[in-house]
Amino acid sequence: MTIRWKYLAILVIVAPLLGFGFAWSGLMSVRASTGHWAATDWFLHWVMGNSVRTAALSVDAPPLDNPALVPPAAGHFETGCAICHGSPSQARSAAVLAMLPPPPDLKTVVPTWSDAQLFEIVKHGVRFTGMPAWPAQMRDDEVWDMVAFLRKLPDMDSDAYLRASGLHGIGKAGEVSPLPITCESCHSERRLEAASVIPRLAGQSEAYLLNSLRAYAHGERASGIMQVAVGTLPEESLPELAAYYAKQARPQRPALPADAQLTEKGREIAEKGRAADKIPACLSCHEKPGGNPAYPRISGQSAPYLERQLRLFHAGVRGGSSFSHLMTEAAKNLKEDDFAVLAAFFASRENGGP
């Protein structure tokens, strides 16, 4: 028995040294062209599946049937994901298919995962595959938007995908220009609806827009979608882009039916604040005559967008400008019911109305 333990101890010491020696020799192939052994491929996918399923046990999926969640994610998918996974408008290239492992056809694999599992994959990425983590880890709302889009993807044809993503520069069928996505793909007034989670930029002040663009470009305001969209733009182009939207006239939309009780509660906070909770009146800063042009115009934004932003401020997630701490402080004491009433009030104030 003593001899056996001695041999076992030698094996424990020598085996790793042999392994390191083999790796050092360069004889171990890392060529993607040769592919994985079948056992290696099975093992890696088995480990990934187990890991994703276990991590997803702690994830509670929200309702994802709101069609307004799809457009921002569709635009981001075309910018950051379609190059590897392909899309209903463009197949994967031969270069992508030569990757190891090749990125999967999502129309095939998405139905095999639950919403919570897709969230885990999109948010955290997958090691050893080239699948990146979401660029802004604190923006779960954006990750869920992407999950909502992925749920629709298997049933999308090319036309539906083009409408959802706002692609520009389409040539013949199956051809997409090198730069198909523009700011207008998401922010065009004609694409924004009452339930959009994308903000209206037309008519915002140039100062506010430029501060926002710089915050996204420098990674100071968290958004996986906007950091990717703005991060590749040259710094000197940002003032021109801000000026473009600041000069746009904001078309007035027809008045939308609103819950009078909600809007009245929102008006109370917006006009008077709530001193007991140290919440100032929103209109003491926003849209105040002669006020700071770096404060955004929020009247006429959609209620879902406004509610989402208030929740981000409340959670301390949104920031990026030298004034963001003011809004974080104002929002931190909001109660659960306050988000909806404030969003309803400002959404009803089309173009800063009464």
Q: What is the pLDDT of residue 254?
A: 66
The DSSP symbol for 353 reads -
Give all domains of the chain, ordered by start, each with its CATH number. 67-181 (1.10.760.10), 206-246 (no CATH), 260-352 (1.10.760.10)
Q: Look up residue 57 and give its two tokens.
A: 């046990």
Q: What is the pLDDT of residue 5?
A: 79
Q: What is the pLDDT of residue 338?
A: 96
Distance CA(327)–CA(314), nearest Å, equals 9
pLDDT interval class at 169 (50, 70, 90): low
Confidence check: pLDDT of 222 > 80? yes
pLDDT interval class at 259 (50, 70, 90): confident
Confidence check: pLDDT of 354 > 50? no
Handedness of CA 40, 45, 46, 48 (dihedral sign): positive
Confidence check: pLDDT of 138 > 90? yes
Average model confidence (pLDDT) across the chain? 90
Confidence check: pLDDT of 256 > 70? no
Average pLDDT for residues 322-327, to the nearest whole number? 89
Q: What is the pLDDT of residue 44?
A: 92
Q: What is the pLDDT of residue 255?
A: 59
Q: What is the pLDDT of residue 6?
A: 79
Confidence check: pLDDT of 353 > 50? no
Average pLDDT for residues 273-277, to the nearest whole number? 94
> DSSP letters of 246-257?
HTS--PPPPPPP
Which of the pair, 343 or 260, is modelled with greater confidence? 343
Which of the pair, 198 or 167, is modelled with greater confidence? 198
| Each residue's pLDDT tens digit, 75-118 | 999 989 999 999 998 888 999 999 999 999 999 999 999 999 99
Q: What is the pLDDT of residue 194?
A: 86
Cβ neighbors of 211 (< 8 A, separation 6 or more) are: 294, 320, 321, 322
Find, among 158, 153, 96, 176, the residue nearest to 129 by Cα.
96
CB 122 within 8 A of CB 134: yes
| Each residue's pLDDT tens digit, 296-316 | 999 999 999 999 999 999 999
